[in-house]
Chain A
Amino acid sequence: MHPVLKTVLGRLGLGVATLFIVSIIIFSAIEMLPGDFGQAILGQAATEETVAAFRRELGLDEPPYIRYLQWVGGAIQGDLGTSFSGRNASGTDRSREVIDLIAPRLWNTLFLASVTAIIAVPVSLFLGITSALYRNSVYDRTINTTTLTTISFPEFFVAYILILLLASLYPIFPSLANVDAATPLSERLYRSALPAFTLTLVIVAHMMRMTRAAIINLLASPYIQMARLSGASQTEVILKHALPNAWAPIATVIAFNLAYLVVGVVVVEVVFVYPGVGQLMVDAVTSRDIPVVQGCALIFAITYILLNLIADIIGIITNPRLLHPK
């Protein structure tokens, strides 16, 4: 078997094992959450009997390990269960499948993450490479200061500043990013502009500085000096000689930031009323809607594991030493 394929399969196996452990952690963490769905939904009407009846109806009176096995068994077959909410005090059952709840939201989140990534990744790479190229120049310092400033502010602050500038004072973009399934692509892009800018500002610094550092680190290596001695220009040295060896750390950081875009943007979603999966999860935690929380957490874990896997593979492919181990 080709060594790359073997390594990839090995990583994939490890990923599945990690996912399994994560599922146990998710389940036990939620088990430890204080509060009770019955009480949260029944409010003033929560007497001991009604809460007990609720727990029975939802199967919450079963021991934890049985519920865990049921959940994992379902999840493997793509069934994340049925949401708790929708069973209100009036007795009407309007609960929806967790998958149906998550799918449209997840699509929105992935859309926003992709738009942001399409802007942020090339920009960071470009800024990172050029600032390595013109190291310690005014250009380098300006880029560094600016990106470090935007990453230092909390997201909601960046978001409000952008709303103030680009929605209130100079109304170019809408402050509401309430897209839906029927929104046409152009409208969708227009509406997602401010959240995407906000996220770009928040993640550019990390990727840009990693690119710069990885390249600068290599510039001190003997083979770069050799390249210089053989008459290569600074641009050639960086693009042809340094960059290929810097892909592994850069890919890791990009993967990390992309994962963040999928799982960690709830604040931005709330500020711009963007119907993403983060907000769904926070709502679900507030109402103790356990199946939805578990489903979201599992999808987030898969996102992290997959993206890290891809970064690892890129690291292996671009590194001959890992590609041809002794």
Chain B
Amino acid sequence: MSKLEYRAIQELKYKSGQIDRRTFVRSLLATGVALPSALSLAGQVAAATPKSGGRFRMGLGHGSTTDTLDSATSENHFTLVNGYTFGNHLTEVSNTGELIPELAESFESGDAQKWVFNLRQGVEFHNGKTMTSEDVVASYNHHMGEDSTSAAKGLLTQVKSLKADGKNKVIFELENPNADFPFIVSDYHISIRPAGDMASGVGTGGYILQSFEPGVKSVLKKNPNYWKEGAAHFDEVELLSIIDPTARQNALTSGDIDAMDRVDLKTVNLFKRNKDIYIWDATGTAHYTFPMRLNVAPFDNYDLRMALKWSIKRQELVDKILLGYGAIGNDHPISTANRYHNSDLPQREFDADKAAYHYKKSGHSGKIPLSAADAAFAGAVDAAQLMAASAAEAGMEIEVIREPKDGYWSNVWNNDAKGWCACYWGGRPTEDWMFSAAYTDDTEWNDTAWKTTDSAVKFNKLVKEARAELNDNKRRELYYECQRLIYDDGGTICPIFNSYVSANSKAIATDENIAANWDSDGAKCVERWWFA
């Protein structure tokens, strides 16, 4: 047995509790590891093994007096985290970004139009009732139908019919094939609640709700009968709404909370010096764009669009606008957190020669107006100024127009009066969802008016094709091509993806993988983290 193998075996024994810390450290010393390293290694191993217990208090930068426990109304990060803490869904997105079954044990479809979900058996709601297909059907009907006011209504209009097949099976019939349907059912709105009780906060989750005060806090207690293994390690949980970033950071520094979201980027470098906390960030799907409208001159010109795409110093925008907490974009809206992010496309960088070449070819002369206001995103006007400066290096003149914040979304964005402006997107968990929100020809929010060029026509065809495709490799090919079409011909400039920046007390341990589909470890930090 080599030293390394011996160490690995001892590590496993220590993790599983067969040997104690002292024995583990001694065995490390025996293999030639120095004492300080041996101690820190022991610490790391201990931290990586989830432990139960403790009262976890988290400060969240959202929360409003109008929040409720009815998942149909979830709209901010507080309700998301709260909802995922006491409720479960048919499927979930794991911390590595994969779709895994949750309350459904498995799901299958032959044609992407009829979906069968086999439910996990013996799962109990907090009120002691056993979950059956009846509850799942009732939970879905809550979001569907004419009278539903659910925010998830639009997501579920594609469901033609839904019925229970016995106690442990539900069958969805869709209007059109949708290979992403299992993804849709992981949406935070569609929480599974007992039939007839959608609003009181009774779920199947790892924590039982004790009290909830909208816009202030939520208190939860560990569910002793939680069905999911290796999850929900804390005994008690307190989620606090602390809107002011300074107050949130103070609370973490003084130990009044154990974790917080949305660190203030302006002070993050000072905050980092605190030895009791650590800052972490995850690049999700949220991104900033500069859509150019193809139905407004001069943006109908392919070469002019290309010239502008080549004239941006993306890393500079990440460094100065996001203070380093973000990733550069490649002029399409699919992030590395998505499943089918096209990593084959060459990364577009600032290239004065290429920009000048395309600019000359476009035959355009004079100023190019770019509208911006900080309503689009914090720092939008500064970003526009930086773009104007780098474009000037390539011989183009961008005129930055500072727009009023009020009415920005009606008078500037997605409006033919302005050809080019700043915008943000929260991003969507699936490619199809993102494309149908802002890029296909049938959405109202197609802010680039990219509908009639050859590439756009092809794009719309491919999106429909991919939606019905169940073969993973074929879908990947189709979505890669869709991204390439937007990257090349599309009207959007997507220079940066902004990261979620959070801070935890060093007492909190997490898995090495942290989900990026939502902030706070996919908004599931409460059941995924533990006290080291």
Which A residues lie at the B interface, using CB under 8 A? Answer: 34-36, 39, 42-48, 51, 83, 85-86, 88, 90-96, 101, 160, 163, 167-168, 171, 174-176, 178, 180-182, 270-273, 275, 280
**Chain A residues, Cβ within 8 Å of B149:** 90-93
CA distance A42 to B445 in the complex (A): 14
Knowing A182-B211, A270-B244, A273-B242, the reply to whether A176 touches B251 (Cβ < 8 A) is yes
From B72, B150, B409, name the one whose CB has the most chain A CB atoms within 10 angstroms. Answer: B409
CA distance A92 to B150 in the complex (A): 7
**Chain B residues, Cβ within 8 Å of A171:** 254-255
Which of chain B's residues 171-222 have a Cβ closer than 8 Å to chain A?
Answer: 211, 213, 215-217
Knowing A44-B409, A44-B413, A92-B151, the reply to whether A178 touches B64 (Cβ < 8 A) is no
B211: nearest chain-A partner, CB-CB: A182
CA distance A91 to B243 in the complex (A): 25
Is residue B16 contacting chain A, with contact meaning CB distance below 8 A?
no
Return B373 CB to nearest CB of chain A, in Å: 13
Return B279 CB to nearest CB of chain A, in Å: 18
**Chain B residues, Cβ within 8 Å of A34:** 406
Knowing A85-B66, A270-B247, the reply to whether A36 touches B406 (Cβ < 8 A) is yes
Is residue B65 contacting chain A, with contact meaning CB distance below 8 A?
yes
Knowing A92-B73, A101-B65, A180-B213, the reply to whether A42 touches B409 (Cβ < 8 A) is yes
CA distance A51 to B411 in the complex (A): 12
Tell me if B216 and A163 are in contact (CB < 8 A).
no
**Chain A residues, Cβ within 8 Å of B65:** 85, 96, 101, 280
Tell me if B216 and A174 are in contact (CB < 8 A).
no
Other A-B pairs beyond A47-B410, A85-B66, A90-B72, 10, CB < 8 Å: A36-B406, A39-B409, A45-B409, A46-B409, A96-B65, A101-B65, A171-B255, A175-B250, A175-B254, A176-B242
Tell me if B242 and A94 are in contact (CB < 8 A).
no
Q: List 24 A-B contacts (CB under 8 A).
A: A43-B409, A46-B410, A83-B66, A85-B66, A86-B66, A88-B75, A88-B151, A90-B75, A92-B150, A101-B65, A168-B250, A168-B254, A171-B254, A175-B253, A175-B254, A175-B256, A176-B247, A180-B216, A270-B244, A271-B250, A272-B247, A273-B240, A273-B251, A275-B215
CA distance A92 to B72 in the complex (A): 9
Tell me if A39 and B256 are in contact (CB < 8 A).
no
Is residue B257 contacting chain A, with contact meaning CB distance below 8 A?
yes
CA distance A85 to B215 in the complex (A): 13
**Chain A residues, Cβ within 8 Å of B251:** 175-176, 273
Return B311 CB to nearest CB of chain A, in Å: 27
**Chain A residues, Cβ within 8 Å of B64:** 85
Pick the contact of B254: A47, A48, A163, A178 (CB < 8 A): A163
Return B167 CB to nearest CB of chain A, in Å: 32
Return B505 CB to nearest CB of chain A, in Å: 13
**Chain A residues, Cβ within 8 Å of B72:** 90, 92
Contact with A along B62-77 (1 / 0, CB 8 A): 0011101000110100
**Chain A residues, Cβ within 8 Å of B157:** none
Pick the contact of A174: B215, B242, B254 (CB < 8 A): B254
**Chain B residues, Cβ within 8 Å of A39:** 406-407, 409-410
Is residue B246 contacting chain A, with contact meaning CB distance below 8 A?
yes
CA distance A85 to B214 in the complex (A): 13
**Chain B residues, Cβ within 8 Å of A181:** 213
Contact with A along B148-168 (1 / 0, CB 8 A): 011101000000000000000
**Chain A residues, Cβ within 8 Å of B243:** 270
Knowing A176-B257, A273-B247, the reply to whether A94 touches B66 (Cβ < 8 A) is yes
Pick the contact of A271: B68, B73, B153, B246 (CB < 8 A): B246
Return A318 CB to nearest CB of chain B, in Å: 43
CA distance A242 to B215 in the complex (A): 51
**Chain B residues, Cβ within 8 Å of A93:** 149
Q: How many residues of B contact A (CB 8 A)?
A: 35
CA distance A42 to B149 in the complex (A): 16
Knowing A90-B73, A174-B254, A175-B256, the reply to whether A48 touches B242 (Cβ < 8 A) is no
**5 nearest interchain CB pairs?**
A90-B151, A86-B66, A92-B149, A167-B254, A175-B254
Pick the contact of B256: A90, A96, A176 (CB < 8 A): A176
From A42, A178, A180, name the one whose CB has the most chain B CB atoms within 10 angstroms. Answer: A178
A101: nearest chain-B partner, CB-CB: B65
Contact with A along B234-254 (1 / 0, CB 8 A): 000000101110110011011
Knowing A92-B72, A178-B217, A270-B244, the reply to whether A163 touches B410 (Cβ < 8 A) is no
Tell me if B406 and A35 are in contact (CB < 8 A).
yes
**Chain A residues, Cβ within 8 Å of B68:** 94
**Chain A residues, Cβ within 8 Å of B215:** 275
Return A88 CB to nearest CB of chain B, in Å: 6
**Chain A residues, Cβ within 8 Å of B217:** 178, 180
Tell me if A95 and B66 are in contact (CB < 8 A).
yes
A91: nearest chain-B partner, CB-CB: B149
**Chain B residues, Cβ within 8 Å of A271:** 244, 246-247, 250
Return B245 CB to nearest CB of chain A, in Å: 10
Tell me if A275 and B407 are in contact (CB < 8 A).
no
**Chain B residues, Cβ within 8 Å of A167:** 250, 254, 256
Contact with A along B267-293 (1 / 0, CB 8 A): 000000000000000000000000000
CA distance A273 to B68 in the complex (A): 21
CA distance A45 to B154 in the complex (A): 14
**Chain A residues, Cβ within 8 Å of B216:** 178, 180, 275
CA distance A325 to B408 in the complex (A): 63
**Chain A residues, Cβ within 8 Å of B240:** 176, 178, 273
Return B127 CB to nearest CB of chain A, in Å: 22
**Chain B residues, Cβ within 8 Å of A273:** 240, 242, 244, 247, 251
A44: nearest chain-B partner, CB-CB: B409
CA distance A168 to B277 in the complex (A): 13
**Chain A residues, Cβ within 8 Å of B407:** 36, 39, 46
Return A27 CB to nearest CB of chain B, in Å: 21
**Chain B residues, Cβ within 8 Å of A160:** 250
CA distance A236 to B41 in the complex (A): 75
Return B170 CB to nearest CB of chain A, in Å: 24
B375: nearest chain-A partner, CB-CB: A43
Return B254 CB to nearest CB of chain A, in Å: 4
A271: nearest chain-B partner, CB-CB: B247
A163: nearest chain-B partner, CB-CB: B250
**Chain B residues, Cβ within 8 Å of A176:** 240, 242, 247, 251, 256-257
Return B125 CB to nearest CB of chain A, in Å: 24
**Chain B residues, Cβ within 8 Å of A280:** 65
Return B83 CB to nearest CB of chain A, in Å: 15
CA distance A322 to B257 in the complex (A): 56
**Chain B residues, Cβ within 8 Å of A270:** 243-244, 247
Return B414 CB to nearest CB of chain A, in Å: 8
CA distance A186 to B140 in the complex (A): 45
A166: nearest chain-B partner, CB-CB: B254
Return A184 CB to nearest CB of chain B, in Å: 14
